[in-house]
Structure 1
């Protein structure tokens, strides 16, 4: 049986759908029943409502938090493979302890349980945020070492810490693979992750971001994860990025597919600093900080990712981002025009 943590997120929901469609025995973890409705919606994007219900019901859904050890012990009974997709994404400094508890301690729990239950293989979903950088080289590769002296976000540090726990598991005999996706584009979660690119442009967005970074479609992330788990490859990490392209190009393509005006004004650095000031003041009164000094730094630097390792190991070709965006926009348009 296959266990999936974070099964109600963008990657997790698409993964459980593919595994259920392929007839795999799946146990999927969730924390809130309300999020299961979104998973059902995701299933309905790709098949009839009858089949979507059939696939959904074939999954053994278990309520468990990755930091609830007794619940996790029960969830691991009879498990042979694990896809660890659960994580907290936040760039608010106030969430530091939550990030550490979910991303580092939670991953350590998953690794420990994998070892205790003799799991055959673990796939850990990390992020390009956890990769090292070398300013002397034009592209980021898996082999570049993490530099603790760099000014990293709390989120990046927590994802790097999670990887350390996974590597520890490999040293204790647990076969592992790690995927480091870029910004993941896919349907169903319009208020989180990359989803607001679609929802905000649909409502009307004037400003664009001029920054090159890595993007990938959710289906490519899910497919490469499954291929790695079925392969003999172990104790390796892989950058999962289809293209390193300018954010403006992505935003313009989304606008075209939604039949909305393209954002015309460049978001300048001084505007980000104004936003940082307001965000910091707002946080004093309990609001979430959306912009930090590290956010401003990251939005000002172009980053190119080299995906040659996974393309070579799996003989894999990524879906062009223009097609990923177009396909996602079709679903978005259908969803916002569907009767409620």
Structure 2
């Protein structure tokens, strides 16, 4: 029996669909709406803070995929980030320990590694520090990892994955999938920033492989390629047959934009499109070392970024009923 949290999100839904075709019993946690139905899936409505429900769900469960978490780079969400990512993970770890599950796989983020280290290759050996992270989100994911390590110290078999920016055909009005909508609408600006990108299907496949392995008490960066934002934008624009961004954003321009967005957010109460944290991230050149997973799983390989982008663009067009 498998239990999946965050089963309605971009990664969680991909993982759930992938497992549903091969596993006879899956419990999947959802908050508001069931995204799809499958005979192998038992959908359970609830959240990470109902500790009694979590204890009940965990009974008879062998494997737990903890995908749930809040992603935000808005400073106003600090309290909710810490509650969902740190406290919520602590509740999952405690329930897994009490139920004696065989193994837990925790989805963290490269943000928990303290990713703003220019001219340095980021590896799994690095730790979050206030000096090397630009986000409250990164700190919240670091604290979530600490709860998992605490659980391992108490006897829980667990493994942690740290994906870079996950690309997939999700709701293109939110999250990383919003990148595709932005380029589809011919957003004219790009930055010189570099970071890691990975296909959502590759993340799900790596998670399943790690869960089925004997690997425990380790964490793995999941990142296919270190690529410039401009190069990624060009690939998306080409797949959509749209005009690629041609205007370079300078640090000065970025500073003006995030300040204007902060003022707009203060007046309207709406979430800012760009924050100080996301502006800094977009300008940084950060490189991730993905060799640890490839050495541990020699048969695993990442999908080339261009191939991923082409597939995702085609799926997004179909989802949104758009014909080129």
The DSSP-based 3-state class of the residue aligned with 2:287 is: coil
Note the residue ranges of structure 1 that are not aligned, 5 or more in a row: 41-52
Post-superposition offset of 1:334: 2.0
TM-score by length of 2: 0.94
Note the 1:21-60 alignment, pairs <5 A. Answer: 21-33=21-33, 36=34, 39-40=35-36, 56-60=38-42
The DSSP-based 3-state class of the residue aligned with 1:337 is: coil
Specify which structure has the higher proportion of helix. 1
Distance 2:90 2:282 in 1: 31
1:294 and 2:294 correspond: no
Which residue among 328, 332, 337 is the counterpart of 2:312? 328
Alpha-carbon contact 1:254-1:326 (below 8 Å) kept: yes
Alpha-carbon contact 2:116-2:281 (below 8 Å) kept: no
Note the 1:208-227 alignment, pairs <5 A. Answer: 208-227=190-209
Distance 1:226 1:165 in 2: 22
Distance 1:23 1:201 in 2: 37
Aligned to 1:66: 48
Number of equivalenced pairs: 321
RMSD of aligned alpha carbons: 1.8
Aligned to 1:309: 292
The DSSP-based 3-state class of the residue aligned with 2:64 is: strand
Which residue among 112, 128, 133 is the counterpart of 1:146? 128
Post-superposition offset of 1:11: 0.6
Distance 2:133 2:321 in 1: 44
Aligned to 1:47: none
Distance 1:134 1:191 in 2: 26
Q: CA 1:24/1:57 → structure 2, altered by over 3 Å: closer, same or farther?
A: closer
Alpha-carbon contact 2:109-2:161 (below 8 Å) kept: yes
The DSSP-based 3-state class of the residue aligned with 2:86 is: helix
Q: CA 1:149/1:267 → structure 2, altered by over 3 Å: closer, same or farther?
A: closer
Deviations, residues 99-148 of structure 1 (Å, cap 9, x unaligned): 01000000000000000000110000000001145958631000123324
Note the 1:89-108 alignment, pairs <5 A. Answer: 89-108=71-90
